[in-house]
Structure 1
């Protein structure tokens, strides 16, 4: 009887583990349907407002379970020189990993390109959702990537503290 019970417990643990893995890596993600016109936006230096840039080959995934699960890949013919003269640079960009099946987005490669200077990070949109910024990275050969990461205001508020000076008031419920 003990062996049967042990095997049953082991089987339940394996099934639960496989289900959790599937849910985290596959189930919650959905492909984003591109609009073809405004999928990639950067925030202008002058107006501090996001505007679409020229891009091709856009593919993205997102999940409603978390605002930081968004990942995107694209290409652009715009040069880094033009982009830096027109759009806001994003300090402290930290690419977040994507599921292995979303092959175009490799956080380690993107992070390495940011470190060695062959890529630059730009502000896509500040507070796309309270405390979350869209970050867009473009490499010197025109490959582009986007993700959402928690900004300084979000870090403080999500920890349960009051919004620091200079941050917008959080919506009700934060």
Structure 2
């Protein structure tokens, strides 16, 4: 084999190894399953601003330390979207984030379609669970629930370098309080 062919094989092999490694890291390695711990696994913000546990079962969740928006969870509940709307703060503009294929209970496209069709409602789980990140909870008419993280307005500003407005908490004091 000539030196040129050997170099091509080495470059292709390195690219293939790097590609497979990145795929594995993004889809499997960084995620870990979050064990169910009890009623506080699914919290919602009431219209009065208090956090309250939502009765649920069949809780499954994943998370990763590599990004604050990798959290996903699924559960079932007897609470209907209409019942939740009477008690909990709605969340406008939420868009479910795609989960790894192996976490099969969370299909972002299907959840998004259900929300758009009006067969699910989205509520504030916990505002600023991390700086600039809100946890949101969707409840469907058929008793399924989904949780994920959304970047809020302060997070958008903080991450793109736009000056934070007066409506955003001070980041340094926020992180100190956490």
Is the TM value for this pair above 0.5?
yes
- d(CA) in 2 for partners of 1:119, 1:146: 12
Equivalent residue for 1:44? 46
2:170 match? 169
Q: Deviations over 1:33-80 (max 9, x none)?
A: 11022100100002x022111000000000000000000000000122
Equivalent pairs counted in the alignment come to: 173
Structure 2: segments with no counterpart, 5+ residues: none
How far apart, CA to CA, are the structure 2 residues paired with 1:162 and 1:59?
37
From 30, 33, 36, give the equivalent of 1:31: 33
Structure-1 residue corresponding to 2:118: 117
- Listed as ranges, the matches of 1:92-103 within 5 Å are 92-103=93-104
Q: Which residue of 2 aligns with 1:17?
A: 19
How far, CA to CA, are the matches of 1:4 and 1:145 in structure 2?
51
Aligned to 2:161: 160
Question: TM-score scaled by structure 1?
Answer: 0.96
Q: TM-score, normalised by structure 2?
A: 0.94
More helix, by proportion? 2
Structure 1 residues 12-21 or 163-172, which shifts more? 163-172
Q: CA RMSD in A?
A: 1.4
Matched residue SS, 1:161: coil
